[in-house]
Amino acid sequence: MTQSIVRRIVLIGVLTWLMVDCQSVLAQASAPASGAKTEPKAAAAAPTPTPKTTAEPAKPETPAPEPTSSTFSLDQWMKDKYMTGNWWGARDKLENAGITWQPILYMGWQQNFKGGLETHNADEFFGTAYYHLKLDFEKMGIAKGLSFYIRPFSSWGSGLQDEVGSLSQPATSIATNGNQEIRVDKWWFTQKLFDNKLEFNLGKVSSLGDFVDVIPYVSYTTYFLNRWIYVNPTIPHANGLGAFVKAWPVDWAYLQAGAVDPDSNIKQWGWETAFHGSDYWRGFWETGFLSNKMFDSLKDYPGTYRVGLWYDPSNRKIYQDNLGGALADRFTNGQVGFYGDFDQVIYKENQDPKDLQGMALFARYGYARGDSNRVENFWSIGSVYRGLVPQRDNDILGFAVAQGIISHTYKDEINPFSNYETVYELFYNIQITPWLTFTPDFQVISNPGGTSTTPDSIVGGFRLRFDL
């Protein structure tokens, strides 16, 4: 694993150096040599001067500034939006033509400092590189409102969940995908109709983070690392072939429904399970409203409130004490659960809609049947503040608490010491440059595994994000 990490870091470093160095070389080649005189351009026909009534001495012409060679500027590089720059203008030209390619690298480190199941060698470096590609067919002049999105990724690291012994993952997806060279986990077509009031998405879709129970202030790429802050564990999310449709009957409310194949393999495109084997399709229904568009008093304070249902037809094993094998296992299917959440900006430092400085709150709740789901009830609440520290307008401070309550059936039949697992997480996202952020992160996981027999765990670490 260490060799894999070193190989990726070296490769990224070499590519970045080549991009920066080549840009400098080309700039120098296209610029005139230092000290060389340039021929003045032919001036446009000047208007006839107005006769002056009082004689004035002629003003000496200001000499043109001496041209300087265009070289790589560290100061400009630190101000660029992307680490590899604008690709000599190619990036803007591609986006104007409908092609957006955005590679992003996440790297980090975590350690279980105390408690949990294991503290010896309980640390890990991890990372994921996402290669986002979007094709806008409307900009290409092919079809209005039609686009295509695909996300290959590569990763290393498997996280500290085993060392902590927790039900929650201390570092969500960027540390738990294992060693993957190049995989494609998402791709879909989007068609928007009727001035974007109706939207269809079809392909290898993911309910997690893209369509269901999406809160903008909890993403593991910028905000919290722990999975329970990012996602509601009572929702049986799925990533596979499927479709989502979303409608906006009014500008302040929406309705959404989707179906996804839950048997898809991340190493495959999705066709292998969607049309072969079991015919299970996991269903999701959600509705929500935008408070800032519904109430005039909140027009400058964005917020979204959501409620949803899910249906899972797959078989699930019912928790029971089988008396050492004397009783046969029982199964259930056709489960239904529900959830609700909100996010709301409650304070802004100024009323400029483009200025994001201020404070936002969020919370969520979820329920799943306790006879076959270990976590029956779940809740979380948190807050983020952008620009709290003076002169650090883009830094983000966040704190959240999440708790999964173990089902009574599991406690009665499997483990009488089960009760709940609680996660406390604090982070501070520091913007070093527009393309680089550094995020120290601190977590306390109480009752790891949902049992009082495991000591509380203290996990610390950091995350780096490079917008390449």
Q: DSSP readout, 124-190?
A: EEEEEEEEEEEEETTTTTS-TTEEEEEEEEEEE---SHHHHT-SS-TTTGGGTS-SEEEEEEEEEEE
Q: What is the number of H-type helices and E-type strands within the chain?
A: 8, 18
Based on the number of CB atoms within 10 Å of its own CB, is 307 exposed (0-12), middle (13-18) or buried (19 or more)?
Answer: middle
Is residue 32 predicted with pLDDT exceeding 50?
Answer: no
At 339, is the secondary structure helix, strand, or coil? strand
Alpha carbon separation from 346 to 95, 357, 421 (Å, rounded): 34, 11, 29
32 within domain boundaries? no
361 within domain boundaries? yes
Summary mean pLDDT of the chain: 84
CA geometry: angle 169, 112, 464, nearest 5 deg: 70
Is residue 447 predicted with pLDDT exceeding 50?
Answer: yes
d(CA 330, CA 83): 55
Domain that holds residue 246: 72-467
Given the DSSP bridges, would you call strands 420-433 and 436-446 parallel, antiparallel or unpaired?
antiparallel
Q: Residue 262: what pLDDT? A: 80
Strands in 327-419 per DSSP E:
331-332, 335-348, 358-367, 375-386, 396-406
d(CA 230, CA 212): 12
Ramachandran angles phi, psi of 43, nearest 5°: -80, 150
Mean pLDDT value of segment 142-154:
95
Q: Residue 321: what pLDDT? A: 87
**pLDDT band, very low/low/confident/very high, at 66 (cuts 50, 70, 90):** very low
d(CA 240, CA 37): 63
**pLDDT band, very low/low/confident/very high, at 183 (cuts 50, 70, 90):** confident
Q: Residue 34: what pLDDT? A: 41
Q: Residue 270: what pLDDT? A: 65
Residues 241/442, Cβ–Cβ less than 8 Å: no
**pLDDT band, very low/low/confident/very high, at 279 (cuts 50, 70, 90):** low
41 within domain boundaries? no
210 within domain boundaries? yes
d(CA 35, CA 333): 80
| Cross-strand bridge partners of residue 151 | 186
Least confident of 176-190, 299-313, 343-357: 176-190
Tokens encoding 425: 């997480």
55 within domain boundaries? no
Alpha carbon separation from 247 to 210, 234, 290, 389 (Å, rounded): 16, 25, 14, 40
**pLDDT band, very low/low/confident/very high, at 465 (cuts 50, 70, 90):** very high
**Alpha-helix residue ranges (DSSP H) falling in 187-300:** 227-230, 271-274, 291-294
Q: Is 373 left (phi over 0), alpha (psi -120 to 50) or beta?
A: beta
Q: Indicate the residue type of 17.
A: W
Spatial CA neighbour of 203 closest among 236, 238, 240, 245: 240
Mean pLDDT value of segment 339-353:
93
Spatial CA neighbour of 312 closest among 336, 331, 330, 332: 336
Mean pLDDT value of segment 342-371:
93
**Start-to-end C-alpha separation, the chain:** 24
Is residue 75 predicted with pLDDT exceeding 50?
Answer: yes
d(CA 280, CA 262): 7
**Percent of the chain scored above 70 by pLDDT?**
80
Q: Helix, strand, coil: what percent of the chain each, to 5? A: 15, 40, 40
If one counts the domains in the chain, the total is 1
Is residue 63 predicted with pLDDT exceeding 80?
Answer: no
- Over residues 365-383, the pLDDT tens digits come to 999 999 999 999 999 999 9
Spatial CA neighbour of 374 closest among 327, 333, 332, 421: 421
Maximal CA-CA distance, the chain: 116
H-run or E-run covering 23: helix 2-30
Q: Residue 254: what pLDDT? A: 97
Mean pLDDT value of segment 231-244:
93
CATH number of the domain bearing residue 387: 2.40.160.180
